[in-house]
Amino acid sequence: MQKDFIYLDNAATTKTAPQVVEAMLPYFTESYGNPSSIYAAGASAKEAVDRARELIASTLGAKANEIYFTGGGSEGDNWVLKATVEAYASKGKHIITSAIEHHAILHTCQYLEKKGYEVTYVGVDEKGIIKLDELEKAIRPDTILISVMFANNEIGTIQPIREIGAMAKAHGVLFHTDAVQAYAHMPIDVNAMNIDMLSASGHKFNGPKGIGFLYIRTGIKIRSLLHGGHQERGRRAGTENVTGIVGIAKAAELAVERLEEREKKEKELTDYLINRISQEVPHCRLNGDREKRLSNNVNFSFQFIEGESLLIMLDMKGICASSGSACTSGSLDPSHVLLAIGLPHEIAHGSLRLTVSEENTLEEMERTVDAVKEIVAKLRSMSPLYEDFVRANG
């Protein structure tokens, strides 16, 4: 693909960094041996996997044997929920999560409910931050797991993870966090934050797709996800995705090295977008918290228009973005996250998510705001809702 477009969908996926591709290549072409084999080509692959595991562990303050490589964020989330409830069935059948989790958590919870488990979905305030008092009230003697995401994928809100970790610990309940959007984007310390399990995904921080990891604190009982070989300490059988593992570790290394620098750069871009859109587009609202949000995330709702139309028109101008409208979710309902923060359906349909990377430029942001202004005005000129609004307000 030529760089003739403005990519503002980095929460969906990111470009694989050239250094990551470079680090992976020898494991396709030279050290392609099976890490379980005894000869040199296998041994060097095994060494690479071990090094990668150590590196990932070091970014979290964890131990290498607490890192399990997975096929991505959804796999980690599924694994945690399904295998923990099974392992801790003797304690109870109750799980607590939030109303704004990714579908990898929510749909798995719904699946477990059908299997006879009980799930409490704790609400969030209008900024999308979990209600801690409600969370604490939901804890019962038979609660086995609290799963709350580190940062939300749609509105970028960062959750009070440290407080939740402390609360879970005080009540003797396991705490898992889906850190797919947060890992390698902000500092995480599993010990200081009392995180028992954490899932992450490589392609959200310039690593390859199809690789992720799950951190499982030593001592936690969790059933094996895949039975077979001894890989991943017997908990996830199958020959290791060596190239992916090398890639995710390289991406993590690069990301963590330059965390602050990158955050600063992204914030400059998102501040520009937020400030100009808020000031220059009437009848809009910023979704999520202004401060406690991922540095790369912008999410606006524009009244009287629908998100898919907005996305197609942005695409025609070469701008890649995403929306929480029903039409982009394949159902009739708009984003559950936008509904959970209290937006009415018709306003939730008109949302736009722009997620930047440090490769974006201010000039691109300028073009994006100009395009958004023009398109929102055009769509409003054809909107019966806007027509009604103008009539009612003279």
- Tell me which amino acid residue 193 is: M
Contact residue for other proteins among 216, 326, 340, 375 (CB under 8 A): 326
First-to-last alpha carbon distance for the chain, in angstroms, is 48
The yes-or-no answer on residue 320 being catalytic is: no
According to the binding rule CB under 8 A, does residue 308 interact with other proteins?
yes
Nearer to other proteins, 153 or 335 (CB): 335
Cα 35 to Cα 42, 44, 47, 73, 237, distances in angstroms:
5, 7, 8, 23, 13
* CA–CA dist 379, 373 (Å, integer): 10
- Minimum Å gap between C-beta 116 and other proteins is 15
Q: Please identify, using beta-carbon distances, which residue of 1 and 332 lies nearer to other proteins.
A: 332
Find the part of the chain contacting other proteins (CB under 8 A) among 142-150, 206-214, 251-259, 325-333: 325-333
Is-contact 45 35, C-beta < 8 A?
yes
Name the 3-class secondary structure at 301: strand
Three-state secondary structure call for residue 379: helix
Among 304, 337, 369, 375, binds other proteins (CB under 8 A): 304
When asked if residue 320 is in the footprint of other proteins (CB under 8 A), the reply is no
**Can you name the residues that pair with 29 across neighbouring β-strands?**
none
Q: Which of 40, 316, 362, 377 binds other proteins (CB under 8 A)?
A: 316
Binding residue for other proteins, selected from 2, 29, 90, 331, defined by CB under 8 A? 331
User: Is 183 buried (19+), middle (13-18) or exposed (0-12) by CB count in 10 A?
Assistant: buried
x/- mask, other proteins, residues 362-391, rule CB under 8 A, reads -------------------xxxxxxx----
The residue range among 93-101, 190-198, 287-295, 305-313 that interacts with other proteins, by the rule CB under 8 A, is 305-313
In the list 181, 299, 322, 325, the residue contacting other proteins (rule: CB under 8 A) is: 325
Report how many residues bind other proteins under the rule CB under 8 A.
Answer: 29
> Is 159 or 325 the residue whose CB approaches other proteins more closely?
325
Alpha-carbon distances, residue 348 vs 1, 133, 325, 340, 384 (angstroms): 32, 26, 6, 10, 17
Part in contact with other proteins (CB under 8 A); list of ranges 70-78, 92-100, 261-269, 309-317: 309-317
* 285 near other proteins, judged by CB under 8 A: no
Per rule CB under 8 A, is residue 330 in the interface with other proteins? yes
226 vs 385, beta carbon nearer other proteins: 385
Q: DSSP string covering 198-257, please?
A: EEEEGGGGTS-TT-EEEEE-TT-----SB-SSSTGGGTB-S---HHHHHHHHHHHHHHHH
**Given the complex with other proteins, which of 231 and 328 has the nearer CB atom?**
328
Distance CA 174, CA 172 (A): 7
Binding residue (CB under 8 A) for other proteins from 230, 332, 393, 394: 332
Q: Give the CA angle between residues 33, 35, 40 to the nearest 5°.
A: 55
118, exposed or middle or buried, with CB in 10 Å at 0-12, 13-18, 19+?
Answer: middle
Instruction: Map residues 337-366 to x or -, x wherever contact with other proteins holds by CB under 8 A.
Output: -------xxx--x-----------------
* 271 contributes a contact to other proteins by CB under 8 A: no
**Of residues 70, 319, 296, the one with CA closest to residue 182:** 296
Please list the active-site residues.
Answer: 327
> Which residues would be at the binding site for other proteins (CB under 8 A)?
107, 111, 114, 304-306, 308-309, 312-313, 316, 325-327, 330-332, 334, 344-346, 349, 381-387
